């Protein structure tokens, strides 16, 4: 498939899911703004970090005057899943020159990961993987920046009782459902969810990492048991 067609295919695949990421960006923009972070700085954070869950955690810790070490560690721990995504995607992008690999790394998000893995493991059509990824990744990037800006500007106007924050787990839920294709995967998800509930109080968002590790091991064990 041509460069342009692959790029557009990526944009098209990502667009519906973008609708879920926008409220997430809005919540970040509004939260950062309400805690006292100036507009430009909030928007720059979305460019430099480009990871919603970590951005929110970091801003909340900044607001409670946590030490620098704690803020950064919590954000890194929340983002450890990107290392795992990177491991899964690496074989599909191994042919690309290093500059392209750095660029694709920067654009890696949960949404881009989900879309690209679904596409790259399909046999049906042969997209140019780099350009498909760029289509998906850039779509999300633009959406994220616009959402953040909107959140910063509109934040104060959003009624306090609108539960916009709920869009965040919903965004992830939409990415999760298509992945639960067999029993080991469902078990992995259940174990992860339960461990995450139990470990929620742990500092530095460690509960997430522990839950994910438990889920992966549980799923792998169930698969080898068959």
Partner 1 sequence: MKQVATDIMNHFWPAVILLGIGTLVLRGGFIVVMGQRMPSETMRRLLAYIPSAVLPALIVPAIVYGEQSYVIDGQKIAAGLIAGVVAWRTRSAIVTIATGLALLGAMRAWM
Site for partner 1 in 135-154 (CB under 8 A): none
> What's the CA dihedral at 207, 204, 116, 190 to 10 degrees?
10
To partner 1, the closest distance from the beta carbon of 126 in angstroms equals: 20
Looking at beta carbons only, is 71 or 127 nearer to partner 1?
71
To partner 1, the closest distance from the beta carbon of 99 in angstroms equals: 10
To partner 1, the closest distance from the beta carbon of 5 in angstroms equals: 23
Buried b (16+ CB within 10 A) or exposed e, 151-174: bbeebeeeeeeeeeeebbeebeee
Measuring CA to CA, how many Å separate 112 from each of 17, 18, 108, 153, 225? 9, 10, 6, 26, 32
Residues 24-43 that bind partner 1 (CB under 8 A): 35-38, 41
Looking at beta carbons only, is 104 or 148 nearer to partner 1?
104
Among 65, 123, 157, 225, the residue binding partner 1 under the rule CB under 8 A is 65
Residues 179-198 that bind partner 1 (CB under 8 A): 179-180, 184-186, 188-197
To partner 1, the closest distance from the beta carbon of 117 in angstroms equals: 7
To partner 1, the closest distance from the beta carbon of 43 in angstroms equals: 11
Task: Indicate whether 155 belongs to the interface with partner 1 (CB under 8 A).
Answer: no
Tokens of 75: 């954000």
* Burial class of residue 13 (count of CB atoms within 10 Å of its CB; 0-12, 13-18, 19+): buried
Task: Indicate whether 101 belongs to the interface with partner 1 (CB under 8 A).
Answer: yes
Please enumerate in sequence order all residues whose Cβ is within 8 A of that of 214, keeping only pairs 6 or more positions apart, or say none: 191, 192, 195
Residues in binding contact with partner 1, number by CB under 8 A: 101
Task: Indicate whether 225 belongs to the interface with partner 1 (CB under 8 A).
Answer: no
Among 138, 150, 158, 172, the residue binding partner 1 under the rule CB under 8 A is 172
**Cα-only R_g, the chain:** 18
Among 4, 142, 169, 203, the residue binding partner 1 under the rule CB under 8 A is 169
Among 11, 26, 27, 54, the residue binding partner 1 under the rule CB under 8 A is 54
Dihedral over Cα of 99, 175, 208, 57: its sign: positive
Cβ neighbours around 25 below 10 Å, total: 25
Looking at beta carbons only, is 2 or 198 nearer to partner 1?
198
To partner 1, the closest distance from the beta carbon of 15 in angstroms equals: 9
To partner 1, the closest distance from the beta carbon of 8 in angstroms equals: 19
Please enumerate in sequence order all residues whose Cβ is within 8 A of that of 81, keeping only pairs 6 or more positions apart, or say none: 110, 208, 212
């Amino acid at each position: 498939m041509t460069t342009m067609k692959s790029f557009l295919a990526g944009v098209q695949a990502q667009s519906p899911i973008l609708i879920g990421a926008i409220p997430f960006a809005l919540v970040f923009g509004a939260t950062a703004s309400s805690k006292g972070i100036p507009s430009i700085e909030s928007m720059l954070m979305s460019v430099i970090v480009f990871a919603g869950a970590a951005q929110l955690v970091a801003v909340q810790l900044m607001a409670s005057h946590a030490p620098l070490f704690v803020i950064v560690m919590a954000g890194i721990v929340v983002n450890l899943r990107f290392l795992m995504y990177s491991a899964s995607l690496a074989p599909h992008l191994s042919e690309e020159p290093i500059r392209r690999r750095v660029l694709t790394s920067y654009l890696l998000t949960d949404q881009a990961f989900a879309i690209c893995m679904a596409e790259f493991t399909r046999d049906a059509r042969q997209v140019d993987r780099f350009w498909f990824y760029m289509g998906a990744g850039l779509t999300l990037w633009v959406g994220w920046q616009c959402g953040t800006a909107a959140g910063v500007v509109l934040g104060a106007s959003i009624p306090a009782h609108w539960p916009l924050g709920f869009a965040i787990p919903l965004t992830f839920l939409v990415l999760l459902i298509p992945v639960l294709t067999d029993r080991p995967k469902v078990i992995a998800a259940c174990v992860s969810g339960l461990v995450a509930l139990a470990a929620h109080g742990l500092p530095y968002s460690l509960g997430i990492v522990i839950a994910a590790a438990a889920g992966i091991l549980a799923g792998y064990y169930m698969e080898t048991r068959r």
